[in-house]
C-alpha cells in the first residue's frame, strides 16, 4: 500500500473574513474552494460574530495570557487549535500575521509542529520585533512572493519556507469585448487597494499626468481605511478623480475593463490581489518595482519603475498611452501570464506540493 500523503486526510484551515473582497476574489475564500476541487478535504474555520463567540474568545485569551484584540478572531483560533490537535493532518493559517498570538502559547515554547503551516503575506519591512519573536516558534511557512524567503528562514528555519503563488478566478476576471477601448476617448486610469500603497506617489503621478493629458481621469477603489489620509483627500479634490467607496464585483470588473491602464504605486508588496485581477482582465499595469512584484510579471510582462519615482511612472504611462499596440500587447501578455500561473487550480496544486514537502519529515503525519 502506498504511503499516505498529507492530503489523504482533512486539512484544518484557519481563514479570515474580509468583506470587501466579494465572492469572486481574495486568497482567503478562494483557496479552500480550490483545494477541495483538487480533492483535498478542508475543515475551514473563520471568525464568527456574536456576543457568545466574543465572550468565549475573551475568556480563552485571558486564560492563556494573549493580548486584547478582536475576540471573534481569538475564538476562531481556539476552535482551529482544538481541531488541529485532534488530527495528524496539516493545519494552515491563511493569514499568519493576524494569528501570530496563537504561537505565543506555552505549548509552542519549544517550537510548533511542522505540520502547522502559516502563510506569510506581509513584506519584511512590516514585521516588528514582537511579531518576529512569535514567528520564530513556527517551523513551516508558505510565502506568496520570493524576495524575502531568506529573511523569513532566519526565523522559521533553513528550507522551511516555500513559495506558492497567489491566484485569481480566470472566469470571473477576464477581458471584455474588446479587451481595451480604442478611439479618441480621454485616457482613464485605475488604482485599486490600500495596503502597502504609496499614495503620495499616486498623487504626484496623477498631477503630472493631468499636466500632459488634461482630460485624463482616475478611478480609485478600495481605500476604506486610507480615505482620511492627506494624499487621498488631496486626490479626491482633484478634477478627474472618482473615489468609489462602494464597489460590487460587477462594478469592479467594469472598471477593469474600461480602464486604459492600472497604476500600482507601492511602498511594499508581497502578493497583490489587485495586480492579479488586472492581469486576468488583460489590463496593462505600471507598477513600482518592489518586493513581490516581479513574481507576478513585473519587468517581464509589464513595466516597473523605481520606488518613489513619480517622473518615471508618469513617463511610462504617457509612453503607453501614446503606443496603443504596445499597450495591447502588454495587456494580452498579462492575461497569458495569469492563465499559465495564477488560475486557482494551478495555485492549489502548488500549495499541495509545498505542504507535502514541509510535512515529509513530520513524524506521524497522515498515519
What pLDDT sits at residue 3?
60
Q: How far is the CA of 189 from the CAs of 101, 131, 261, 270, in angstroms?
A: 40, 37, 5, 23
**Distance (Å, rounded) from C-alpha 100 to C-alpha 136?**
10
CATH superfamily for 188-341 is Glycogen Phosphorylase B; (3.40.50.2000)
Burial 192-221 (b: 16+ CB within 10 A, else e): bbbbbbbbbbbbbbbebbbeebeebbbbbb
Output the nine-digit C-alpha cell for 113.
509542529
In the chain, domain spans: 6-167+343-359, 188-341
Q: Do domains 6-167+343-359 and 188-341 have the same CATH topology?
A: yes
CATH superfamily for 6-167+343-359 is Glycogen Phosphorylase B; (3.40.50.2000)
Q: What is the pLDDT of residues 92-101, one digit of tens each?
A: 999 999 999 9
Answer whether residue 236 shows pLDDT above 80: yes
Q: What is the pLDDT of residues 27-54, one digit of tens each?
A: 998 999 999 999 999 999 998 888 888 8
Q: What is the pLDDT of residues 117-132, one digit of tens each?
A: 999 999 999 999 999 9
Q: What is the pLDDT of residues 286-318, one digit of tens each?
A: 999 999 999 999 999 999 999 999 999 999 999
Q: What is the pLDDT of residues 150-201, one digit of tens each?
A: 999 999 999 999 999 999 999 999 998 764 444 558 999 999 999 999 999 9
Mean residue pLDDT across the chain:
91
pTM of the model: 0.92
Amino acid at each position: 500500500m502506498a504511503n499516505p500523503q498529507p492530503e489523504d486526510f482533512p486539512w484544518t484551515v484557519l481563514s479570515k473574513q474580509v468583506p470587501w473582497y466579494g465572492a469572486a476574489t481574495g486568497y482567503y475564500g478562494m483557496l479552500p474552494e480550490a483545494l477541495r476541487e483538487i480533492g483535498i478535504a478542508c475543515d475551514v474555520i473563520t471568525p464568527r460574530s456574536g456576543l457568545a463567540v466574543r465572550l468565549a474568545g475573551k475568556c480563552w485569551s485571558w486564560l492563556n495570557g494573549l493580548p486584547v484584540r478582536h475576540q471573534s478572531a481569538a475564538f476562531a483560533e481556539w476552535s482551529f487549535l482544538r481541531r488541529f490537535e485532534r488530527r495528524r493532518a496539516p493545519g494552515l493559517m491563511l493569514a499568519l500575521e493576524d494569528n501570530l498570538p496563537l504561537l505565543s502559547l506555552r505549548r509552542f515554547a519549544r517550537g510548533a509542529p511542522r505540520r502547522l503551516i502559516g502563510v506569510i503575506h506581509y513584506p519584511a519591512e512590516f514585521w516588528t520585533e514582537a511579531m518576529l519573536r512569535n514567528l520564530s516558534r513556527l517551523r513551516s511557512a508558505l510565502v506568496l512572493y520570493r524576495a524575502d524567503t531568506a529573511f523569513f528562514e532566519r526565523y522559521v528555519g533553513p528550507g522551511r519556507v516555500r513559495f506558492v503563488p497567489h491566484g485569481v478566478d480566470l472566469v470571473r476576471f477576464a477581458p471584455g469585448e474588446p479587451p481595451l477601448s480604442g478611439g479618441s476617448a480621454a485616457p482613464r486610469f485605475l488604482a485599486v487597494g490600500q495596503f502597502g500603497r504609496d499614495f503620495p506617489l499616486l498623487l504626484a503621478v496623477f498631477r503630472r499626468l493631468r499636466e500632459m493629458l488634461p482630460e485624463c481621469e482616475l478611478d480609485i477603489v478600495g481605500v476604506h481605511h486610507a480615505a482620511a489620509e492627506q494624499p487621498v483627500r488631496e486626490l479626491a479634490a482633484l478634477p478627474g478623480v472618482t473615489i468609489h467607496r462602494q464597489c460590487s464585483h460587477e462594478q469592479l470588473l467594469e472598471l477593469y475593463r474600461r480602464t486604459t491602464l492600472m497604476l500600482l504605486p507601492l511602498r511594499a508588496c508581497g502578493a497583490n490581489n489587485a495586480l492579479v485581477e488586472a492581469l486576468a482582465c488583460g489590463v496593462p499595469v505600471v507598477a513600482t518595482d518592489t518586493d513581490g512584484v516581479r513574481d507576478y510579471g513585473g519587468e517581464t510582462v509589464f513595466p516597473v519603475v523605481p520606488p518613489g519615482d513619480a517622473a518615471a511612472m508618469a513617463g511610462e504611462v504617457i509612453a503607453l498611452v501614446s503606443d496603443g499596440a504596445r499597450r495591447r500587447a502588454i495587456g494580452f501578455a498579462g492575461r497569458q501570464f495569469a492563465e499559465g500561473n495564477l488560475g486557482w487550480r494551478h495555485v492549489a496544486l502548488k500549495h499541495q506540493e509545498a505542504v507535502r514537502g514541509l510535512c515529509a519529515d513530520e513524524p506521524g503525519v497522515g498515519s
